[in-house]
Amino acid sequence: MQIQVPNVPIAFFDLDETIINEDANSLWLKWRVPRSVLSLPELCIGLYNRHYYKRGRLTERKMFLYFQARTMGLSGDAYRRMAQRFFHEKGRHHVYAGALEMIDAHRDRGIHTVIITGQDNFITEPFCDRLGVDGFISNRRIERGRRLGGFHTPNCYGAGKITLAGDYARTRGCALRECSFFTDSISDLPLMREVGHPVAVNPDPELRSIAENAKWRICSFDTVVSLN
């Protein structure tokens, strides 16, 4: 794969099906369901939500209910330990080699690299640490003592991603129009239209059609590797 790196101050990368070859919720469920019957409500809501997510129609309420089901009865510390275990036993084995090469190529040119994802901060942080990116933007859970609450606003999805990415860019002294964004999903179309260098990675059919018509760059990643 010939790696093309635009001259940008920040490169944003989606996580699900862009850096990793499946969405992290699906990987989590495959990992957790065999381990606990308590995950069955989460499984039902997760399967229901995926239908809407793939069409860019997932609401904040549906997302909130899913994550509430995931962490029911868990403290923040317990969920953090579980997320770390998930990453080491499952998540780290599903990384696209092409994504690693792309991130490394940006880093070699001194470009600030950021994961931006609808996953929560507990799941995202281990990927961020091991991939060596400069930062991440995610849904952030509210911790009330030992209890986990909802999410800080805005939600990192749809229009909320634009707000969060724009705020992040401003802290780095630049605008979204100067940045790039790599993603696979039609649900990320709002942010793709805001950046100056949108890149579709293994795009779903709707996003591929839009990317082709707009003459956006399209990348294909296939080989999957494990992070050390």
**Domain locations along the chain:** 10-225
For residue 160, what are the CA distances in angstroms to 59, 114, 138?
Answer: 12, 16, 10
Check residue 17 and report its DSSP letter. Answer: T
- pLDDT averaged over every residue in the chain: 89
pLDDT of residue 38: 58
pLDDT of residue 82: 94
pLDDT of residue 71: 82
CA dihedral 28, 228, 203, 222 (to 10 degrees): -120
Alpha helices per DSSP H over the chain: 24-32, 40-53, 60-70, 76-89, 97-108, 121-131, 159-171, 189-192, 205-214
Q: Is residue 35 pLDDT above 80, yes or no?
A: no
Task: Look at residues 179, 170, 183 and name the one whose alpha carbon lies nearest to residue 211.
Answer: 183
User: Looking at per-residue confidence, does 166 or 52 come out higher?
Assistant: 166
- Extract the tokens encoding 187: 């649900």
Q: Is residue 45 pLDDT above 80, yes or no?
A: no
pLDDT, tens digit, 9 for 90 and up, residues 83-140:
999 999 999 999 999 999 999 999 999 999 999 999 999 999 999 999 999 999 999 9
pTM of the predicted model, to two decimals? 0.90
Task: Look at residues 212, 205, 213 and name the one whose alpha carbon lies nearest to residue 185.
Answer: 205
pLDDT of residue 46: 60
CATH class belonging to 10-225: alpha beta
Q: Is residue 34 pLDDT above 90, yes or no?
A: no
For residue 217, what are the CA distances in angstroms to 78, 119, 124, 189?
Answer: 41, 25, 26, 14
Name the percent of the chain lying above pLDDT 90: 70
Name the percent of the chain lying above pLDDT 70: 86
pLDDT of residue 54: 57
Question: Reduced to 3 states, what is the DSSP secondary structure of residue 170?
Answer: helix
